[in-house]
Amino acid sequence: MLKLYDYWRSSAAYRVRIGLNLKRVAYESVAINIAPGKDEQLNEVFRTKNPQMRVPALETEHGVLTQSLAILDWLEEAFPAPSFYPRDAWARAQARAFALTIAADIHPLNNLAPLAWLREKHGADEAAIGAWYRHWIALGFEALEARLRTMPETPFTFGDAPGIADICLVPQCANARRFQFDFAPFPRLAAIDARARAHPAFAAAAPENQKDAVRG
Amino acid sequence: MLKLYDYWRSSAAYRVRIGLNLKRVAYESVAINIAPGKDEQLNEVFRTKNPQMRVPALETEHGVLTQSLAILDWLEEAFPAPSFYPRDAWARAQARAFALTIAADIHPLNNLAPLAWLREKHGADEAAIGAWYRHWIALGFEALEARLRTMPETPFTFGDAPGIADICLVPQCANARRFQFDFAPFPRLAAIDARARAHPAFAAAAPENQKDAVRG
C-alpha cells in the first residue's frame, strides 16, 4: 500500500490527500509532526526517506517521491481515471498555470521556514508575520480571480469535475482562513472553495479530519 | 510565431528560453524590464496580457500562458521531440520533483518581490538580503546533491540528454553565482551545471546573451 508521510496542517500534504481520495487510491498516512519544537522531519529515519526533510513524501514500491505536484502527476499517470486535468491541451496548460500560481508563488513564501526566518533574523512579531502572509495570498489571488473573470462560471475551476487547480486552491484557502484573510474581493475563488470543500474527497482530506489533528 | 514576454535576468524566463531552444521552436522575445524603478510589467498593455504582471508569459494562437513550468509542459505536449522528461514513469516523477525543488522551494523566496519586502518592511541591508538568498539555495541544493548521490553519474541530471531538471538547475545556478554562493559542497550539481551551460540550447538562452542584457 502507498505510504504518505503526512502532516495534518501541511497544505502541500493536504493537496496529495485530496488527490489520493479523488483517485480512490488507498494509502497509509504516517504522521510526521513538523510543528516548531516537535520537528519530527529531522529524525534520522525520516531523513533517509526524504533528505529534504519535508512533507509530503509518498513511499511506493519504487521508492520515495517528494514534491506535492510531482506526486500528483505520478498519481495521474499511475491511476489515470478520474483525471486531474482538462482534456483540451490549452485548458490543461491553463489549469497547470493556475495550480502553480498557488504552489510556486503564494505557498512557498508562507511556509514555516521563511516565517521562522522572519521572526528570528528580523524580529518580526505576529502582526508583521500576518501582514507578510496575507500579502502573498492577496497578490496571487488577485491574478487568479482576474483569470476566473475571463472564464465561464463552472462548478469547479476548470469545468464540472474537480482537478489540479481545485486541489491546490482549497488548501490555500484553508491557510488563508487561519490567517484571517479577507475573501471579499475574491468571490469566484471563495465560491469554488466552498463547493469543493463539500466534495467527499476534499472533506476526507481536510486538516481537521486527520488523525494527527490537534484541536485547539 | 510564439511571443515570449521575457527579461534577460529572470531565471523563470531563462528556463522557458532553454526549453524553446531545446525544442528548436522559433519565438519572438519581447523584453519587459522588471528591474526595480523600470517596472514595465505594470504597464497597462502587458497587464491585459498577464494580470499577474510577471514574466515569463508565452503568447500563442490560443492566448497567453503564464508560469514557466506550465509553459514548459505545454511545449512538451505541442512539440513532443526531444522530450524534456525521462521515458520511465518513476524517473519522470523524480525529474519533476527535482525541478519543483528549485521552482517551488528555492526560487520563490529569492524573487524580486520578497527581497523588496525584506528591504522595505524589515530594513534588510544587502548583507541580510545575501544571507537570506544563499540560505534557501543551500537548503534546496543540499537535498538535490543528496538526491544525486543516490543516482548513477550521467552527463545530465536524468541521463544522457538535458531535461526538465537541467532546465531548472542552470538558471538557479546563475542566480547563485550572482550572489557569491559557495558551490564547494555541491560538486555534482556544479558539474551538471557546467556541462549544460556548454550546450548550445542553454548557451543561447543565457542572460548575458539576450538582447536586453545590461552589461555592468
ipTM of this complex prediction, to 2 decimal places: 0.96
**Residue range B17-75, pLDDT digits in tens:** 999 999 999 999 999 998 888 888 888 888 888 888 889 999 999 999 999 999 999 99
B94 to chain A, any CB pair closer than 8 A? The answer is yes
Q: How far is CA B33 from CA A111, B137, B215, in A?
A: 29, 25, 14
Residues B170 and B130 in one domain: yes
CATH value at residue B34: 3.40.30.10
* Arithmetic mean of pLDDT over chain A: 96
Average pLDDT in the B85-111 region? 97
Q: Which domain holds residue A27?
A: 2-82
Question: Given an 8 Å threshold on Cβ–Cβ distance, is A107 in contact with B105?
Answer: no
The verdict on residue B213 lying in a domain is no
pLDDT at B121 over 70: yes
**With 70 as the cut, is the pLDDT of residue B98 above it?**
yes
Residues A52 and A107 in one domain: no
pLDDT band at B216 (very low <50, low <70, confident <90, very high): low
* Structural domain includes residue A213: no
Verify that A132 and A157 share a domain, yes or no: yes
The pLDDT-based confidence of A51 (bands split at 50, 70, 90) is: confident
Chain B hits for A85, CB-CB cut-off 8 Å, are: none
A 114-153 residues with CB below 8 A of B?
114, 117-118, 121-124, 128, 131-132, 135, 139-140, 142-143, 146-147
Residue A127 lies in a domain: yes
Q: Residue B209 domain-assigned?
A: no
Number of structural domains chain B divides into: 2
| Residues A81-98 pLDDT 10s | 999 999 999 999 999 999
Q: Which of A82, A99, A115 is the last residue of a domain?
A: A82
Q: What is the pLDDT of residue A53?
A: 82
Of A82, A107, A138, the last residue of a domain is A82
Claim to verify: residue A67 and residue A93 sit in the same structural domain = no
The model's pTM: 0.97
Task: Return the pLDDT at A216.
Answer: 64
User: Chain B partners of A108 at a C-beta cutoff of 8 Å?
Assistant: 104-105, 108-109
Q: What number is the average pLDDT over the span A9-20?
A: 97
Looking at the fold, whether A47 and A150 belong to one and the same domain comes out as no
- Please tell me whether residues A126 and A74 are part of one structural domain: no
Residues A151 and A48 in one domain: no
B78 touches chain A (CB under 8 A): yes
B196 with B103, same domain: the answer is yes
